[in-house]
Amino acid sequence: MCLTYVIGVLDGFRDLDRPPVTPPETSAGEVRSVVARYLADNPGKRTLQGREVIRAAIITEWPKLQPAKPKPKPKPKPRKKRR
């Protein structure tokens, strides 16, 4: 797996509202190793796009560091028709 690609994807994640989080001291090489291990453990995921695999590997490796999912907004009540 190309280290430069992993670095590029990690940089691209910065623009997301909720980017996947790695520990501050983690190097790109360590993330590459995490992704390689993730693919070895989950061969069915090899058909996903590279950025999706990297994101899934990070979330799987460090689940407690990930930001909480936002709560869904309640559905508005339907308006009553006036006559």
pLDDT digits (tens, 9 = 90+) for 9-53: 989 998 888 899 999 999 989 999 999 999 999 999 999 999 999
Does the residue 81 lie in any domain?
Answer: no
Is residue 76 one of the residues assigned to a domain? no
Q: Is residue 79 part of a domain?
A: no
- Report how far residue 31's alpha carbon sits from residue 50's, in angstroms, rounded to the nearest whole number: 13
Find out whether 6 and 35 touch, Cβ atoms under 8 Å. Answer: yes
Tell me the CA distances in angstroms from 7 to 24, 37, 62, one per residue in order. Answer: 15, 17, 18
pTM check: above 0.85:
no
Two tokens, residue 79? 């308006």
Domain that holds residue 16: 3-65
Residue 71 domain-assigned? Answer: no
Domain membership of residue 74 (yes or no) is: no
Domains held by the chain: number: 1
Residue 53 lies in a domain: yes
**Residue 57 and residue 39: Cα distance in Å, rounded?**
8
Closest CA to 13 of 60, 49, 52: 52
Q: What is the DSSP letter of 82?
A: P
